[in-house]
Amino acid sequence: MKRFLLPLGLFAVVVGFLAVGLTLNPREVPSPFIGKPAPDFVLPQLHDPEKVFSPKDLAGQVWLLNVWASWCSGCKEEHPVLMQLAQSGSVPVYGMDYKDQRAEALTWLKRQGNPYPLSAMDESGRIGINYGVYGVPETFVIDKKGLIRYKQIGPLDQDSLDRKVLPLVKELQNQ
């Protein structure tokens, strides 16, 4: 009888971990980048590849970095929220076009609308990897000191914007 207790106990522990895991929100994966400096980069701008964009250009500001692509269905889902956010002027949203073709990205923005003051092109995906991006869309809140303060995995929706992103942005802007 005792020889069954160990396997039964291990089975119970595995079931317990599975039960806890099923209650977690996959969009709220803790990021090791929270509270750390945003990785620096210099990338060509989508609309004018002769010009470059770097997070250093935004030092002293609170801003969002939205990683997107024209081939991304979740990006299409979140796009109306980004357009509304851009129109509100609450916080600037800069884009990083991820593993995409320039012509397709430009066409997509022309059709859907452009919420970004500018988008950088991460054609190889190297910079996205430095940010821990494993799927698009992903959005980062970056503070005045260049620290990543929040990471949204998956499409931004109005609820996450109202409950998490905008209150954090307001707090950071007042610091």
Mean of pLDDT values over 8-19: 64
* Distance between CA atoms of residues 69 and 80, nearest Å: 15
The helix/strand/coil state of 78 is helix
Q: What is the pLDDT of residue 26?
A: 55
| Residues making up the chain, counted from first to last | 175
End-to-end CA separation in angstroms for the chain: 63
**pLDDT tens profile 70-94:** 999 999 999 999 999 999 999 999 9
Tell me what the pLDDT averaged over the chain comes to.
90
Q: Is the dihedral of CA 55, 118, 93, 77 positive or negative?
A: negative
**pLDDT tens profile 111-169:** 999 999 999 999 999 999 999 998 999 999 999 999 999 999 999 999 999 999 999 99
- pLDDT grade, residue 18 (50/70/90)? low
Mean of pLDDT values over 94-108: 98
Question: If you search the block for the tokens 């003051």, which residue do you land on?
Answer: 117
Whole-number CA gyration radius for the chain = 19
* Distance between CA atoms of residues 169 and 143, nearest Å: 8
